[in-house]
Amino acid sequence: MELVNRTELDFDRLRRMLDREIDGWPHERVHATVRYSRGADFSGTCYDRKGTIYVNVGRHVVYPYAMRTHIARAKSNATHWWKELYTVRIADAYQLALFVFLHEFYHWLVRQAKRNPRQKESMCDRFATRALVMRYGALVHDTAGAAVGRSAWDFQDVDGFVGAARRRMQPRRRIGA
């Protein structure tokens, strides 16, 4: 993966964080740029056909940051459906950049796996949230502020959904072969 860092975040630390989470996934053709946003707390864009990802983080964001996500199970009644917004506690700008990157990277994996890219925002959020919870101990809360157990939001096989992307990886050349 080619990484460009246009922020004051330490490049090596950021690189290690991103690499650790995408290890085992195809990423050789991904070009990621981390930069400051023009005013929003954060944003991201994935041009999945090109493999270009932009991660924008706000300079003004105060940490810990309460990231609202779409990871809750959908609920419905006879006339409509809804999702509660769960909040993930982001400790610092590195974790915010990681969350946004992983969310966008999952969009790219969906394309690589030749899956329908429509309506995958919740899956992208789950993919990113899982990394923060597992590696950094991030906490997830409901709208009332109560802690939410992992089984309430990590109920889909997000890795399996894009598993075909792994099978499409180029085999590594062996030296001397």
What are the helix and strand counts (H, E) for the chain?
Answer: 5, 9
pTM for the predicted model, two decimal places: 0.91
Q: Tell me what pLDDT residue 167 has.
A: 73
Q: Tell me what pLDDT residue 175 has.
A: 56
Residues whose CB is less than 8 angstroms from the CB of residue 96 and which lie 6 or more positions away in sequence, other chains included? 42, 57, 61, 63, 65, 67, 90
> pLDDT (tens digit, 9 = 90+) per residue, 29-51?
999 999 999 999 999 999 988 99
* 3-state SS, residue 57: strand
> pLDDT (tens digit, 9 = 90+) per residue, 119-172?
899 999 999 999 999 999 999 999 999 999 999 999 999 999 999 998 766 555
Domain ranges of the chain: 2-167
Mean pLDDT of 68-95: 94
* Confidence at 176, pLDDT banded by 50, 70, 90: low
The answer to whether 29 touches 50, Cβ cutoff 8 Å, is no
What is the torsion angle, in degrees rounded to the nearest 10, for the CA atoms of residue 3, residue 12, residue 91 and residue 56? -20
What's the gap between Cα 87 and its chain centre? 14
